[in-house]
Structure 1
Amino acid sequence: MKKMKRLTILPVFVAASLILSGCVQRTKSGKPYGLIYDHLAIPTQHVIDWLTSVMGGSYGWAIIAITFIVRMLLMPLMLKQAKGATIQQEKMASVRPQMAAIQERQKNASSAEEKTAISQEMMALYRENGISMTGGIGCLPLLIQMPIFAALYAAIQYSPELSKTSFMGINLGNPSIILAVLTVLIYGLQAYLSLFGIAPEQKKQMQSMLFITPIMLGGMTFVSPAGLGLYFFVGGIFACLQTILVNIMRPKIREEVAAELKKNPPKKVVTPVVEKTEVKKKSNKDSDRPNNNRLRNSGKQHRNK
């Protein structure tokens, strides 16, 4: 489910960011104007200029300060979402046998009507057990940050002072391969940390998606001004800290979910699938058990002799 969610959200995120950043128009003389520039870029330029004066004239530290403020404001929301995602994962684990039964029937379904009915059964399973179709992972933090991306992009691109400023040897107005590589590495670390404390079955599903977010954000950093790349990179550091906090919280969340499931066991919508290993063990036990009828018949034959 998390895999499907990432595949759905990231392309939308990239497309919306590019659209927002491309909504700046220019006059014949080259002066920028438009909704994004007038209402996002100019105010952002003023904020960056003010923070630069506070930070000793460094535009780079001003961008880092903006990243810190945005991430601290979003941290409670992100932690709440991460907790919700963990709760949904535990609930999904409790109904996994029923999900396996539905998935098995989906594979063997021959008609469109049958597939539709089975899909509705899966939705009923989620609904009856209070499981979100998206696995508890929302896109609100990304939606909140999109205007910030667009504002920073336009502010850096169309600000003469900011576009010509360097930070630690990196020109903030031009793309930086160094920041692109660092962004890939930091979000790769965040993806790796997210695997800690995850069930083996879920970890297997998530491993194939580990490189999606780092590569996409690294690509965006590579084609964007380095000032925006700096925002992505520092944001990745906060993402790592957030993931560590979630990993610390996860055992307690699991205990709470387990206690709740003990009081209110999962509702059965379909008959769970009996695992093949269980069937094999059962058949082995049956084969090892002596056949009473056979023993009784052999006893009769012995007496007749």
Structure 2
Amino acid sequence: MKISKKFSATAALAGLALVLSGCVQTKNGKPYGFVYDYLAVPGQHVMDWLASIFSGSYGWAIIILTVIVRMVLLPIMVKQMRNATIQQEKISMIRPQMAALQKQQKAAKTQEEQAAAGQAMMALYRNNGISMTGGIGCLPLLIQMPIFAALYAAIRYSPELSKAVFMNIPLGKASWILALLSFLSYLLQSYLSMLGLPQEQKKQMRYTLLLSPVMILFFTMNSPAGLGLYFFVGGLFACLQTLIINFYRPRIRREIKEKMKDQPAPVMPTPVKPAAKPEQAAAETHTHNRNRNRNAGKQQHHH
């Protein structure tokens, strides 16, 4: 749960790009294959159509496509943000029980005791309706995957897109300017996402939220500038989306707290004591029998 979902999504997109770079085959300099035929060619047609609306500008075509994708994702992201906020409030409710189990886990002397404390922690989450994923789903990533794949393949293999220029930046070649702008836009989004959060939670998220901008920086520095433009505009839209989410967050928290007043108190599971080893069990049985015989002898002597 400490791993940022944004980092996971960025890593998945970067991994997809690496896969796509080796999936398109060429013959006599011409690309072919499933990825090219079903992703690059349709992506090129969409870009051509959008560019025709903006006087042949493929840069504006990428910007409009990014905004459309983000607008489609906005209701889904807001819903997932609400689910994540609910999970955060529930975690705050069981924080004392979590601290107690973490203390038991640190004090454990054997692997069995550590495993028992870990199972008790999972039971605490399960008994109080808390998801181990924090309420964040993969649907936004799944929606972006085909768009990203089509854009990547189209920019790399379509002559029109690879030779297009936007604001004096060739879209078919890597651009450190767009790479830096993409990094800064997602760095700003990470900062905005921490506003209004408890100080303890900010400390936990600080480093993981830096991973996504750094991943985007290294990825866009080695990718066509068209993808850098896609990430830059997407980062700006993510900042706007985060501001909207932050505006509604206090109201959502109030609603959650009102609903949680009627909820039962958090259930605190007790770690199951690990089974004793055969030697230890035999020793305990021998001691128990010896004590029982001694007590029986004392009773007979008393009579």
Q: Shorter-chain TM-score category? A: 0.7 to 0.9
Label 1:62 to 1:13 Cα distance change in 2 as closer, same or farther (>3 A).
closer
Which residue identity lines up with residue 25 of structure 2 in the other structure? Q
Contact 2:7–2:209 (8 Å) recurs in 1: no
Query: What is the aligned partner in structure 2 of residue 176 from structure 1?
Result: 175
Query: What is the aligned partner in structure 1 of residue 132 from structure 2?
Result: 133
Contact 2:10–2:216 (8 Å) recurs in 1: no
List gaps (5 residues or longer) in structure 2: 271-303
Aligned partners of 1:66, 1:31: CA distance in 2, in Å? 26
Provide Cα deviations, 1:255-290, integer angstroms capped at 9, x if missing partner.
Answer: 11111211103422248xxxxxxxxxxxxxxxxxxx
Label 1:36 to 1:266 Cα distance change in 2 as closer, same or farther (>3 A).
farther
Query: What is the aligned partner in structure 2 of residue 146 from structure 1?
Result: 145
Aligned partners of 1:14, 1:148: CA distance in 2, in Å? 14
Which residue identity lines up with residue 15 of structure 2 in the other structure? A
Query: What is the aligned partner in structure 2 of residue 3 from structure 1?
Result: 3
Contact 1:20–1:147 (8 Å) recurs in 2: no
Query: What is the aligned partner in structure 2 of residue 16 from structure 1?
Result: 16
Query: What is the aligned partner in structure 1 of residue 295 from structure 2?
Result: none
Label 1:78 to 1:2 Cα distance change in 2 as closer, same or farther (>3 A).
farther
Query: What is the aligned partner in structure 2 of residue 41 from structure 1?
Result: 40
Aligned partners of 2:176, 2:197: CA distance in 1, in Å? 33
List gaps (5 residues or longer) in structure 1: 272-305
Label 1:200 to 1:249 Cα distance change in 2 as closer, same or farther (>3 A).
same
Give the C-alpha shift of residue 83 in structure 1: 1.4
Which residue identity lines up with residue 44 of structure 1 in the other structure? G
After TM superposition, the structure 1 stretch with the greater mean CA deviation from structure 2, 5-14 or 107-116, is 5-14
Provide Cα deviations, 1:121-150, integer angstroms capped at 9, x if missing partner.
Answer: 111111111111011122221222122222
Give the TM-score normalised by structure 1: 0.84
Contact 2:4–2:208 (8 Å) recurs in 1: no
Label 1:13 to 1:59 Cα distance change in 2 as closer, same or farther (>3 A).
closer
SS of 2:209 mapped into structure 1 = coil
Label 1:80 to 1:2 Cα distance change in 2 as closer, same or farther (>3 A).
farther
Aligned partners of 1:253, 1:265: CA distance in 2, in Å? 20
Query: What is the aligned partner in structure 1 of residue 87 from structure 2?
Result: 88
SS of 2:195 mapped into structure 1 = coil
Aligned partners of 2:95, 2:227: CA distance in 1, in Å? 42
SS of 1:211 mapped into structure 2 = helix
Which residue identity lines up with residue 41 of structure 1 in the other structure? A
Which residue identity lines up with residue 53 of structure 2 in the other structure? V
Q: How does 1:66-215 map to 2 (within 5 A)?
A: 66-215=65-214
Query: What is the aligned partner in structure 2 of residue 282 from structure 1?
Result: none
SS of 2:3 mapped into structure 1 = helix
Contact 2:6–2:209 (8 Å) recurs in 1: no
Give the C-alpha shift of residue 7 in structure 1: 5.5
Q: CA RMSD in A?
A: 1.6
Label 1:90 to 1:64 Cα distance change in 2 as closer, same or farther (>3 A).
same
Query: What is the aligned partner in structure 2 of residue 62 from structure 1?
Result: 61
SS of 1:150 mapped into structure 2 = helix
Aligned partners of 1:133, 1:26: CA distance in 2, in Å? 44
Label 1:235 to 1:266 Cα distance change in 2 as closer, same or farther (>3 A).
farther
Which residue identity lines up with residue 94 of structure 1 in the other structure? M
Contact 1:163–1:173 (8 Å) recurs in 2: yes
Give the C-alpha shift of residue 169 in structure 1: 0.7
Aligned partners of 1:179, 1:7: CA distance in 2, in Å? 19
Aligned partners of 2:260, 2:86: CA distance in 1, in Å? 11
Give the C-alpha shift of residue 9 in structure 1: 4.8
Which residue identity lines up with residue 229 of structure 2 in the other structure? L
Q: In percent, how many aligned pairs have the same letter?
A: 60
Aligned partners of 2:4, 2:123: CA distance in 1, in Å? 19
Aligned partners of 2:71, 2:253: CA distance in 1, in Å? 26
Provide Cα deviations, 1:6-29, integer angstroms capped at 9, x if missing partner.
Answer: 5655434432332134311111x0
Contact 1:2–1:134 (8 Å) recurs in 2: no
Give the C-alpha shift of residue 37 in structure 1: 0.8
Query: What is the aligned partner in structure 2 of residue 254 from structure 1?
Result: 253
Label 1:8 to 1:145 Cα distance change in 2 as closer, same or farther (>3 A).
closer
